[in-house]
Chains A and B, each alone.
Chain A
Amino acid sequence: MRPLILGGICLCLAGAGQASEWPADAAVDPNAQNRTLTPKVVVNSGRLEWEPYKRDLTPWPTLSHLDRRPTPRPQQANYDPPLRGDPARGREIAMDPARGNCIACHTLPGEPWPGSVGQLLLGYKQRGVSDAYVYQQIYDRRVTNPNTVMPPFGAFGVLTEQEIRDLTAYVQSLE
């Protein structure tokens, strides 16, 4: 608990005008592994314990009213052909909860427990959808649809350029 409190105070004293830091009411311990904390409820205790979370989530904007960091604006990708993507690697990324996790929202062949929020991704190649278009949709779909639910994987630095190329190759391989 103590590092958490100190973290809040350090921010207040040193970073009142700093827009690059997480807000003071975030569950963060700057000295913990990954900084982001997750609460741990201890039975019959009046204190809330904290554990390091598996991922550092501090770089992105929070819901705090104190958070002054702007969200990255919609961004056109600099797609440079040819594709140079590996569909097998792309499939791995699509199924990996820690990376693409496309399967959480999209239904993809050969995988149980899919999602149904995202649109069907089959037959893009047959319909003549270009690699550049698919790449942009993964990189930042807000460019073509401002109200999209699709995360801007490229513009937010969630996936690397090569990972998006692999995913594009995978999507283009689905029939």
Chain B
Amino acid sequence: MRTLLRTGLLLTALVGTAWAQEPAPYRDMDLPIPDYEAHVRGDLRLSKTYPHWRDRSRLDWRLAGNPDEHWKLNWKFMDPPFNQAVHGGHFALERGEYLYKTLNRNGRFAACLGAGRAGLKGLRTRFPQYRQDLGRVVGLEAVIEHCAAAQGEVLQNGSYDNSAVSLYIASFSQGMPIRIDVSRGPMQEAYERGRRLFHTKAGRLNFACSSCHTRNIGQLVRGSHITTPYGDVTHYPVYRTQYFLQSLHLRMMECNLDTGVQPLLPGSQAYTDLEVFLTALSNGYPVSVPAERN
């Protein structure tokens, strides 16, 4: 079955190359595209809520308790250390530790992930990244799947165990700011594609991510407040009270389904490009796991 999957992906890549020559099909774009900054402080010019959640140790709890105002905290009040209660994310973390230690008995798993002398410390803050050996930009979960497969283990991107390992690795970067460089090379190209995708309308209702998450931040959609795209990826994979453990790509699938867009597979290039764009908007903001969201 793995071979089948590989063949499918290879064919996809070949077809993709052939199609890349043709002009792009017509799409509606959500305009105007704001002047994004590849750093979390860019939110000062977008939703302007950043001062409320910049320092997680000094959140204003009066906002958290007010259903009309808590969106201004960008849900950071559900990040550790504030939510001390043991939630599903903590169990996932233990599972991730067990799986990681099993996979890394001979040290090859860590080496494959790109952990240097510092070990897992800070590793999460450097993803997504361009991998020379894979020839493409990849997120942490895609690399985990790849490195597990190299040892004959199946950890499919988006599966509980894959996200659990990702969570365990991220926990070593707890409190360390995201640091990805999107100023040149394949990462810049991925960032630009992601930025464009963020504003590309799709699906049965012709919505772009930006239809809600730029011009309508703070507004209500069916009783829920819309939040900023800045500083939003540092708590993934996240424990969802309704959904067990959710990687960022599974979150994008949920976003797509909720807005009537046919979702793509976890690890697809479009989702990876969006991940690069969104992660750049979290540059400078600390990793925070295990977190919980509604």
Contact = CB atoms under 8 A, between A and B. Distances in A.
A64 B19 CA distance: 12
B122 to A, nearest CB: 26
A62 B202 contact: yes
A89 to B, nearest CB: 21
B16 interface: yes
B253 to A, nearest CB: 6
A174 interface: no
Nearest to B250: A39
B31 interface: yes
Interface in A93-132: 103-105, 112-117
B260 to A, nearest CB: 6
Contacts of B216: 117, 149
A151 B206 contact: yes
Interface string A30-43: 00000011110111
A76 interface: no
Interface residues of A, number: 64
B49 to A, nearest CB: 17
A67 interface: yes
B153 interface: yes
Contact of B265 (A27, A47, A104, A142): A27
A42 B162 CA distance: 11
Given A8-B12, A68-B19, A116-B220, 8 more contacts: A24-B15, A41-B160, A41-B246, A48-B158, A68-B25, A117-B219, A151-B205, A156-B206
B111 interface: no
A38 B268 contact: no
A164 interface: no
6 contacts: A25-B269, A46-B148, A48-B159, A65-B193, A117-B216, A147-B32
B222 A115 contact: yes
Interface stretch (A52-60, A77-85, A165-173): A52-60
B27 A62 contact: no
Contact of B204 (A26, A44, A57, A64): A57
A16 B17 CA distance: 11
Contact of B264 (A5, A19, A62, A103): A62
A57 B255 CA distance: 13
Contact of B25 (A12, A16, A63, A69): A69
A157 B246 CA distance: 32
Contact of A66 (B19, B261, B263): B19
B160 A45 contact: yes
B1 A5 contact: yes
Nearest to B153: A46
